[in-house]
Amino acid sequence: MRGLIGKRVLVSGGSSGIGLAAARRFLEEGCRVFVGGLDAAEVRQAVTELRPYGEVSGFAADVSLVEGANALVDAAAEALGCIDVLANNAGIAWREPFLEITPEHFDRMLAVNLRGMFLVAQAVGRHMIGRGGGAIVNMSSTNGIAGEEDYAHYNASKGGVLLLGKTMAVELGRYGIRVNTLCPGYIRTPLNASIAGAMTDGEFEASHVADRIPLGRAGLAEEVAAAYAFLASEDAAFVHGAELVVDGGQLAVM
């Protein structure tokens, strides 16, 4: 990808799954990377795993809290010198029928997936304005575009992320900050493993993938990482306020 060498990248939720793959991809593109995550031991483990690929450090904080989001962005800005790219990736998911979702569960889903994304993006946006621009990629989902059974709270949070990103694009473009949104479909990560519960990989894939994904398989974290790299790069210099769907054709099915 053009224009990524030397860029300083904050990957929130970079200690696992898609974020971990994105952190590695940015390192392979010649970036310096700072990873966030909820669990300190997992962040340490990720940094150790990523070190062979380049200059990386990390910090654990809960992005749903104002202090957590600000501490993460401050730590990244200090470690990297500045932030050119934000992969705003941290998120949670679990299945629950609409009629059984408690207000507490609804609040937690929105607090991490929408409020957390807003808090990190706002802190980074303020930082980037002072630096003359940058690129922000927010993580939504195909579940932010179409409803999936048993995910009303998750779907609502990811739908919110889409319009958060479009509005950020409208307001921040004038400062040289490009804002785009990623919408992956089914990607093999620990998040999906927890959703699948007792199912084996094969059973999960059969129940979720059959008839739903024209390419006939779940996606890989590396395939979403490539989309992060593209949207952050100069190859996407005129891509702004857009959503990029990475779903093996799932949303193309009627």
Ligand X SMILES: NC(=O)c1ccc[n+]([C@@H]2O[C@H](COP(=O)([O-])OP(=O)(O)OC[C@H]3O[C@@H](n4cnc5c(N)ncnc54)[C@H](O)[C@@H]3O)[C@@H](O)[C@H]2O)c1
- Angle among Cα 105, 106, 109 to the nearest 5 degrees reads 85
Closest CA to 76 of 67, 66, 86: 86
3-state SS, 162-187, equals HHHHHHHHHHHHHHCEEEEEEEECCE
| Count of residues engaged in binding ligand X, rule: CB under 6 A | 30
Q: Which of 134, 159, 165, 184 binds ligand X (CB under 6 A)?
A: 184
**Is residue 88 at the binding interface for ligand X, with CB under 6 A as the rule?**
no
Q: Which of 54, 192, 226, 241 binds ligand X (CB under 6 A)?
A: 192
What x-and-dash track marks residues 115-154 binding ligand X by CB under 6 A?
A: -x----------------------x-x-------------
Q: Which is nearer to ligand X, 65 or 82 (CB)?
A: 65
Q: Which is nearer to ligand X, 1 or 21 (CB)?
A: 21
Q: Which is nearer to ligand X, 190 or 249 (CB)?
A: 190
**Is residue 164 at the binding interface for ligand X, with CB under 6 A as the rule?**
no
Q: Which of 1, 7, 10, 15 binds ligand X (CB under 6 A)?
A: 15
179 Ramachandran zone, left/alpha/beta (phi>0; psi -120 to 50): beta
- Cα separation, 232 vs 240, whole angstroms: 11
**Is residue 62 at the binding interface for ligand X, with CB under 6 A as the rule?**
yes
Q: Which two tokens stand for residue 228?
A: 């992060």
Q: What is the DSSP letter of 151?
A: B
Q: Which is nearer to ligand X, 143 or 233 (CB)?
A: 143
What are the residues whose beta carbons fall under 8 Å from the beta carbon of 136, sequence distance 6 or more? 85, 86, 88, 121, 124, 125, 128, 165, 168, 172, 177, 178, 179, 180
- Cα separation, 33 vs 12, whole angstroms: 10
What are the residues facing 151 on neighbouring strands? 96
Helix (H) or strand (E) holding 121: helix 116-131
In angstroms, what is the minimal distance from the CB of 212 to ligand X? 12
**Is residue 250 at the binding interface for ligand X, with CB under 6 A as the rule?**
no
- Of 24-32, 60-68, 205-213, 229-237, the window that binds ligand X (rule: CB under 6 A) is 60-68
Catalytic positions, please?
A: 154
| Main-chain phi, psi angles of 83, to 5 degrees | -120, 115
- Of 14-22, 48-56, 171-179, 226-234, the window that binds ligand X (rule: CB under 6 A) is 14-22
Q: Which of 33, 63, 80, 244 binds ligand X (CB under 6 A)?
A: 63
Q: Are 113 and 161 in contact (CB under 8 A)?
A: yes
- Of 86-94, 130-138, 208-216, 228-236, the window that binds ligand X (rule: CB under 6 A) is 86-94
Cβ neighbourhood burial of 254 (10 Å; 0-12, 13-18, 19+): exposed
**Is residue 159 at the binding interface for ligand X, with CB under 6 A as the rule?**
no
Q: Is 34 helix (H, G, I), strand (E, B) or coil?
A: strand
**Is residue 13 at the binding interface for ligand X, with CB under 6 A as the rule?**
yes
Q: Which residues bind ligand X (CB under 6 A)?
A: 13, 15-19, 36-39, 42, 62-64, 89-93, 112, 116, 139, 141, 184, 186-187, 189-192
